């Protein structure tokens, strides 16, 4: 088989698998005031609640220019890092 075709098929396969994985997570947005901003995290206050987000400056556009007091809108997905099931199951009804 032609090496160019193999490379194109591999690239297409990677692109499609990325689309399938990205489609699973629901996105959320929050708009609030920046309370704290470092190179790797930002804390946003909305009313009395505070939300802390880890950020990747290499992929998050404009994250290096975050200033305390500015209003921002953060788009994020919820992602579990660990799930544990308790030993006791749900109580059964008599």
The domain limits of the chain are 26-78
Which residues is 42 bridged to in the sheet? 37, 53
pTM value is: 0.61
Q: CA 11, CA 33: separation in Å to the nearest integer?
A: 41
Please provide the CATH number assigned to the domain covering 26-78. 2.40.50.140
- pLDDT at 73 (0 to 100): 92
Q: What is the mean pLDDT of residues 2-16?
A: 56
- pLDDT at 63 (0 to 100): 74
Q: CA 64, CA 56: separation in Å to the nearest integer?
A: 10
- pLDDT at 93 (0 to 100): 59
- pLDDT at 49 (0 to 100): 95
Residue 73, SS3 per DSSP: strand
- pLDDT at 29 (0 to 100): 94
pLDDT in tens, 33-91: 999 988 789 999 999 999 999 988 777 777 778 899 999 999 998 888 899 998 876 66
- Sheet with 41-46: strands ordered across: 49-54, 41-46, 27-37, 71-77
- Whether 74 contacts 49, CB under 8 Å: no
- pLDDT at 70 (0 to 100): 93
């Amino acid at each position: 088989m032609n090496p160019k075709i193999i490379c194109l098929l591999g690239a297409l396969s990677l692109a499609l698998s990325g689309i399938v994985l990205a489609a699973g997570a629901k996105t959320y947005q929050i708009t609030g005031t920046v309370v704290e901003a470092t190179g790797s995290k930002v804390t946003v206050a909305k009313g009395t609640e505070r939300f802390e987000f880890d950020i990747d400056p290499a992929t998050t556009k404009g994250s290096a220019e975050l200033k305390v007091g500015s209003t921002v809108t953060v788009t994020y997905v919820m992602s579990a890092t660990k799930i544990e099931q308790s030993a006791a199951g749900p109580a059964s009804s008599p």
